[in-house]
Structure 1
Amino acid sequence: MERSCELLLLALLVAAMAASLPLALAYDPSPLQDFCVADAASDVFVNGLVCKDPARVSAGDFAFSGLHAAGDTANALGSRVTLVDARAVPGLNSLGVSMARLDLAPGGLNPPHTHPRAAEVLTVVEGQMHAGFVAADGTLFARVLSAGDAFVFPRGLVHFEFNFGDRPAVGIAGLGSQNPGLIRVADSLFGATPALTDDVLAKAFRIDAATVQRMKAQFATKK
């Protein structure tokens, strides 16, 4: 009985302190050194990438060349994303940021996808794009962007970019993670390995099994 009373008093004390003190939450811990350049040669698996010995770090670990070059959009989607993350620039490791160049041919699409670990801000530098995202309640937020316009995609929400114009469009994106991740909605569902069952996909999309099989065949050819 005495032990129970002590635990109850402790719980009440913690609750009182929580009610009177501000609560601080953080997504990623702050870096504890100037930099943590990724060591690609390490086979140690951690949440992120192992740091290289600072004595072996050079300016090249923080640099990337190539964003001036147009990505190859000669594919079924008419789009190409050039990602600059911690694998491309080892110096981004632990800093919580990355970037990408998006090229869209006329009629090109960066299909509906999510970045599970990053919010994104897209700036159009050439042409026009129809860009948008879908909120958790199903609301679509979208607009046409011209050169100099920017648009924000909240972390984890499905979003897309489409070039409805007659000339190429280019955008530069900043992402709030060194490894934002990429989940393309259609590819993930119809191209999963092992495959999702036809029954699951048919019921989810309210289509028949024959249509599911045709969809799976489309994505199987892209692997």
Structure 2
Amino acid sequence: MDSHIPTLLITTLLLSISPKPVLGGDPDILTDFIAPPNSPPPNATFFTFSGFRSLVAAPVPAKFQVVKATMEQFPALNGQSVSYAALLYPPASANPVHTHPRAAELLFLTQGELEVGFVDSANKLYTQTLQAGDMFVFPKGLVHFQYNADAQVPAFAVSAFGSAAAGTVSLPNALFNSTVDDTVLALSFKTDVATIQKIKAGLKG
């Protein structure tokens, strides 16, 4: 009997233990669209989203506001790997530091100016001042922000995402409005529990 394992068997074994490719976005679907279960066949209304109508001729909000068109608000997006958000920045307001774990964000500024930026995995900050008509991409999963530094003029932007449910993790909320122990937060930020509690109280105001 040959004491050597056949080459084909070795190749098969190696392929079976090789790392599988990781999906970088929403899974592909095998149909044109995904209709809601136990419902009649959809008509054109199913593919129409009117949630942005409230923004037309609306007054400038008192604080930063986002209106989303994701799979949650617009079920026809299920399986389409795309979603939108309308972003309204009153004067001197910010969209706090946050991440989108499942998609990159492509922001298009239609009115005003914005200071934008993100931090990469090497802890390098990239910032830019956008004018109306500019676009900026925030890479998938990276911490980023937008800030309207103008004390008089509001700003308006529309963002597109490469996922029907990009997700948003607001760092202030995730850290200070969660049940993470105050001592853990104090040690993480090299401060004391009293300071952490003061930050938490400020976020609730």
Of residues 85-94 and 61-70 in structure 1, the stretch that sits farther from structure 2 once superposed is 61-70
Matched, 1:164 2:163: no
Q: Which amino acid is 2:188 matched to?
A: A
Matched, 1:82 2:67: yes
Q: C-alpha root-mean-square deviation of aligned residues, in Å? A: 2.9
8 Å CA contact 2:60, 2:90 repeated in 1: no
In 2, the alpha carbon distance for the partners of 1:118 and 1:171 equals 18
Corresponding residue for residue 32 of structure 2: 34
Structure of greater relative contact order (alpha carbons < 8 Å, 6+ residues apart)? 2
Q: Which amino acid is 2:135 matched to?
A: A
TM-score when scaled to structure 2? Answer: 0.85
Corresponding residue for residue 169 of structure 2: 183
Q: 106, 109, 112: which is aligned to 2:97?
A: 112
For 1:7-22, what aligned pairs fall within 5 Å after superposition? Answer: 10-13=9-12, 15=14
Q: CA deviation at 1:187?
A: 0.8
For 1:177-216, what aligned pairs fall within 5 Å after superposition? Answer: 177-192=163-178, 195-216=179-200
> Identity of aligned pairs, percent?
36
- The unaligned stretches of length 5 or more in structure 1 are 40-50
TM-score when scaled to structure 1? Answer: 0.79
* Cα 1:206–1:17 shift into 2, 3 Å: closer
> Aligned pair count?
199
- The unaligned stretches of length 5 or more in structure 2 are none
SS of 1:200's equivalent in the other structure is helix
8 Å CA contact 1:103, 1:171 repeated in 2: yes
